Amino acid sequence: MQRDESRQPESTGSQSVSSRACADDVVAAYPLFQEGGGGSIPTSALSLRIDEIPMRLAQELNAKWHSMLPRTDLGNLLCGNTSVAYGTDLGGNWVAVAIWSQPIIRAMCDGKTIELRRLAICQGAPKNTASRMLAVMSRLVKRKWPHLEKTISYLAVDVHKGTIYRAAGWTPVGDIVNARPQRFSNVNKNTRATGPLQTTSRKKRWEKKI
């Protein structure tokens, strides 16, 4: 992750997402956070294009790929003034998605922090896609909101070890905390996904200054 990536495309800004692959064109679902071996396509993660995409498309992609939390609440994601979603493209197909928003915990809403709420990757993504995305997206959110100083995310410690965060230069901080009570609702009318908005796992906050 220390090699120079400045020559690689991060966000095109000129190509409409509607002209490229839609949610129905993606590969089969794959668990959150690809920490093990690579995907089925033997391609370097440096070949990926990472673009800002509409939040509703991000919800659809997350619903297909996120094994633990496929459901998202649009109203919750769009609260505050720092919400954005990024899709990762490989050869004209979406292979990963990430959703960012104002921190969900009120105490962290200092106007300088943005939280990674979802990160989901399909089976066809190359190895190290997640860490590559984290590194690039840190730069993209800083470019979009220069006043931001920190990115945060909460890791389900009973399920994941934080490998992708560490590879992208993030740092674990604070204590491991118990999960808050899960919240359920009816099927999301846009993505048809249902289930909890939070996991039952204990959580650890990871951060990175940007």
Q: What pLDDT was estimated at residue 210? A: 96
Residue 4, in any domain of the structure? no
Confirm if 124 and 92 have CB atoms less than 8 A apart.
no
Residue 12, in any domain of the structure? no
Residue 83, in any domain of the structure? yes
> In whole angstroms, what is the distance from residue 76 CA to residue 70 CA?
15
Instruction: Please tell me the pTM assigned to this model.
Output: 0.75
Number of domains in the chain: 1
> In whole angstroms, what is the distance from residue 153 CA to residue 130 CA?
13
Round the average pLDDT of the chain to a whole number and report it.
77
Lowest-confidence segment of 25-29, 106-110, 161-165, 197-201 by average pLDDT:
25-29
The domain of 40 spans 28-209
Q: What is the CATH number of the domain that holds 37?
A: 3.40.630.30
Choose among 192, 194, 197: nearest CA to 24: 192
Q: What is the pLDDT of residues 15-33, one digit of tens each?
A: 445 445 444 444 333 333 3
CA angle 22, 187, 66 (to 5 degrees): 50
Residue 71, in any domain of the structure? yes
Model confidence at 42: pLDDT above 60: no
Q: What pLDDT was estimated at residue 72? A: 82
Residue 148 pLDDT class (50, 70, 90 cuts)? very high
83 contacts: CB under 8 Å, gap ≥ 6: 55, 77, 100, 101, 102
